[in-house]
Amino acid sequence: MTNKIKSIMWVLFLPTFLYSSDFRVGVTKVNITPNTSQNLIGYGPRDSKGVLDSIYHRIVVLEDGIDRFALVSSDLAAISPATYQNAAKRIKSLYDVNEQDLWWTNTHTHSAPEVGSAGVIPYFLGERYEHEYDRAYTKFVEDMLVKGIGLAIEKLELAKLGVGWGYSRANINRRARGIDDKTFLGENPDGPIDRKIGLIRFENEIGKPIVLISNYPIHGTVLSISDLRISGDVPGVVSNYVEEKIGAPLLFINGAEGNIAPRFSISINNSGNKEKFLNQFKRLLGDKILEANENIISTTENVKFRTRQIVIETPLKNGLDANAWPEDMDSYLRINSAGEGIIRMPINFLMINKDLAIWSAPLELFCEISNEIRAHSPFPYTFYYGIANGTLGYLPTEAEFKLGGYEPGVSPFSVKAGDHLIKEVSNVLEEEDRIRD
């Protein structure tokens, strides 16, 4: 491979500038619980039996009278980038929301139905996708997303912004180590972790909450593979709990959860009350979100924000066949003159006023990478919104690649991709710092 191909490349899209003295926000919550049995993803193939709690699209739209930005949190494990693109085209045509201004995130519950094509996962776990996905349910989820965007636009109202931090011990590193230094899925109390809650509050003119947006990294894996009920798992249960307390929707946006599990989960052989394991997260995480909300003591109606997108190009992992890349994801891979695959990874940015920078990626990112970017960011509040606009899979650090285990084994990326990501995202944040007012 030439030095040119080894190097990272990115394509810069011009920012979209938005400013308004009558900043408006609209929010809606749309039920996407299926009424038929569905294949659940996140573990091995299995069909759902019953519903523990309903699953939803939660949608917030920001508008300044000229442009719109839409953020979606769905109680799904993941979608492919191709599924995102299908929905984005419809939403652009109906509501004039540009693709880089539509962020469709997934909470990563492992007790939700499969939606759309499998994306890159069959590269490594083909046995999970020997069946045809349910096209009727996929269309229903997409239709409800499109409908939900319209409903949120109809509810737009003047709003004020508040932002703050919280902290919760509801998660734990899941890269367990044996005495032989082999890595396996388990609990590692000494492993890297991110326990910060990044919180955004939008409220109306009289201070009543319109919506909370909570950012926290955690796998939705409290319920085990043996529980076949549909559920939002931790993100869903926590969202419902907070909503009951504040009287407004909560969008749970997962963070860099690639190597982070819930602090407690249910073993396959546990025969006790499974709901009690989920419900404890109402206190462990839900109450911490509520506390962080109470600690936001100031808001502003003067909101200035802009979006930006870069595309990072980084090599496909050695040994993977670029020609086996899924056809419906052609725009996320190119093959160079040497026949080597180069992954094209879109990274989106949302800068709000002088203090808040949010970046998102279609990744299950290891928390060390997000922590590094945040630690050196010039913005006081820097949030990472993960599993956004589809997923390209796990992105571990170089050190964790060398330790092996599940996540590196099913990642399509080279060992240097994490360093590339840190460099290029940090460069953008530094540039945005120089141009902010």
Beta bridge partners of 424: none
The encoded tokens of residue 25 equal 């926000």
| 57 labelled ligand-binding | no
253/229 Cα distance (integer angstroms): 22
From the list 386, 431, 409, the residue with the least C-alpha distance to 107 is 386
328/163 Cα distance (integer angstroms): 38
**Cα angle: 96, vertex 18, 243; to 5 degrees:** 75
Single-letter amino acid, residue 342 = I
**Cα angle: 35, vertex 39, 44; to 5 degrees:** 150
User: How many CB atoms are located within 10 Å of the residue 355 CB?
Assistant: 12
| 108 labelled ligand-binding | yes
**C-beta of residue 90 within 8 angstroms of C-beta of residue 142:** yes
Single-letter amino acid, residue 373 = I
Would strands 356-360 and 381-385 be described as parallel, antiparallel, or unpaired?
A: parallel
**C-beta of residue 340 within 8 angstroms of C-beta of residue 437:** no
131/29 Cα distance (integer angstroms): 31
348/362 Cα distance (integer angstroms): 10
What is the full DSSP assignment across 4-49?
Answer: HHHS-EEEEEEEEEEEESS-EEEEEEEE---SS--EEESSSSEE--
241/9 Cα distance (integer angstroms): 43
* Alpha-carbon distance values, 143 to 85, 109, 140, 377 (Å): 14, 21, 5, 38
20/40 Cα distance (integer angstroms): 43
Single-letter amino acid, residue 207 = G
H or E segment and range at residue 45: none
Helix (H, G, I), strand (E, B) or coil at 142: helix
108 backbone φψ class: left, alpha, beta (φ>0; ψ -120 to 50): left
Known binding-site positions for Zn(2+): 108, 219
Which residues participate in the annotated binding site?
108, 219
